[in-house]
Amino acid sequence: MLFTLLTMLLAACGGSKSSKMDMGDNEFPVMTVGTSNANLESTYPATIKGIQDVEVRPKVSGFITRLCVHEGEAVRAGQLLFVIDNETYQAAVRQAQAALNTARAQLATARLTYINNKKLYKQKIIGQFDLETAYNSMATAQAQVAQAQASLASAREQLSFCYVKSPSNGFIGSLPYKVGALVSASSPDPLTTVSNNSVMEVFFSMSESDILSLTKTAGSVQAAIADMPAVKLQLADGTMYNLPGKVVKMSGVIDATTGSVSLIAHFNNPQRLLKSGGAGQIIIPNVKGSTNQIIIPQEACSQVQDKIFVYVVGSNNKVKYTEIQVNPQNDGVNYVVTGGLHVGDRIVTKGLTKLTEGMQIKPITEQQYQQNIDKAAKMAESQSSAKGFVNAMKSK
């Protein structure tokens, strides 16, 4: 009895494989080409940066003794970020202060000497030379006081550099140096970066020909920027940012290497979703759009180098490998056909890798094609289960 059951299951598995081979091998989904309105969009790779990214670097050398912030923390302009070992600089301030005190005392003595000599000169006890010598000594002492004051100010400034403060409002970036690290103005990495990301600048480039077209239509670069519609930002995960942006700047120089012009769009970032250094794609809609255009799905096309082909189904249901021309602006899902197809033509939309030139097919709808795929998947699953059961029975 067991042997009979195994035999039947094995026969079922073989029959299932055979039926899969015969099912729908020449059936392909076919669509009839028509026209519709096309909302054309242009897509450009983009880089995201905060509207103000300031690298924080030390002006003096020393060991970090205090770290006052954490990565990602919001800070205000003037807020203390780091403290660098300042014993040497405090000593320099004290030395400069002592030098200033000495210079002031010398100035006081020189002033008293001059005042006394003025009296003696009036009494004709001393001559003009002695009076002028006393005056010059007082002037020298005044200069020494000024020099000592400048040295003290410089020492205090050097000491203040040990207390590294935020240059602007924003958010703290990475902190590559920790307490105890030796830093200096020549350190390869900044202490951190303060990013003001309330508004983000998104950098992208357009070709010279596109810029010329926009400029000629608008009359000037400024008018072209003003006339540009609100732009969208596609994030790295493929989702769309929920706020529109506005192109605000255009470079006046063409990159000789790429032949493109750099532009900047501003996006508000109230939820801090956009991060400085991120990447995405700027999507610029075509304001005029296009009407009565032939639109076909990109999955119905195959691309060979810079040419695009489709399989056109003839009246005898034989396919012909046909080159078409499309608008370079697309939404990533559909093509707007500019040549090679006509209204009423039929094309194969899926399974293109199984087709060959002149092959005769059986046209079906995409719904029927999907049903065939689902049926084949179920048969494969059933076959796999049957084989597993047979192997299990054999092991017993």
99: domain CATH number is: 1.10.287
- Domain end position, chosen among 285, 302, 324: 285
Contact 245, 263 (CB under 8 A): no
Q: Same domain, yes or no, for 216 and 268?
A: yes
Is residue 251 assigned to a domain?
Answer: yes
Residue with tokens 């002006």: 59
Q: Read off the tokens for 373.
A: 């795929």
Give the rounded percent of residues in the chain with a pLDDT score beyond 70: 87
101: pLDDT strictly greater than 50:
yes
17: pLDDT strictly greater than 80:
no
Q: Same domain, yes or no, for 281 and 294?
A: no
Is residue 98 assigned to a domain?
Answer: yes
Q: How many C-beta neighbours within 10 Å does residue 193 have?
A: 19
Is residue 72 assigned to a domain?
Answer: no
Q: Same domain, yes or no, for 202 and 278?
A: yes
Task: Work out the average pLDDT over 203-214.
Answer: 84
Q: What confidence score (pLDDT) does residue 219 get?
A: 78
272 pLDDT band, cuts 50/70/90, is confident
288: pLDDT strictly greater than 60:
no
Q: Which of 231, 203, 227, 202 is nearest to 214 (CA)?
A: 227
Is residue 275 assigned to a domain?
Answer: yes
Contact 134, 120 (CB under 8 A): no
What are 315's strand-pairing partners? none
pLDDT tens readout for residues 334-381: 888 989 999 999 999 999 999 999 999 999 998 898 888 888 888 877
Task: Work out the average pLDDT over 135-139.
Answer: 95
Q: What confidence score (pLDDT) does residue 18 get?
A: 43
139: pLDDT strictly greater than 70:
yes
Q: Which of 164, 160, 190 is nearest to 177 (CA)?
A: 190
Is residue 204 assigned to a domain?
Answer: yes
CA distance 59 to 186: 9
230: domain CATH number is: 2.40.30.170
Is residue 105 assigned to a domain?
Answer: yes
Q: What confidence score (pLDDT) does residue 223 get?
A: 85
CA distance 233 to 242: 8
Q: Which domain holds residue 376?
A: 2-25+366-395
* One-letter identity of residue 33: V
Q: Same domain, yes or no, for 351 and 376?
A: no
What is the residue-averaged pLDDT of the chain?
86
Q: Same domain, yes or no, for 269 and 331?
A: no
pLDDT tens readout for residues 28-38: 999 999 887 76
pTM of the model as a whole: 0.52
pLDDT tens readout for residues 82-100: 999 999 999 999 999 999 9
Q: Read off the tokens for 106.
A: 């010398």
CA distance 35 to 347: 14
Q: Which of the two residues, 13 and 228, has the higher pLDDT score?
A: 228
Q: Same domain, yes or no, for 221 and 273?
A: yes
Q: Same domain, yes or no, for 205 and 278?
A: yes
CA distance 242 to 265: 15
Q: What is the tally of structural domains in the chain?
A: 4
1: pLDDT strictly greater than 50:
no
Contact 30, 364 (CB under 8 A): yes
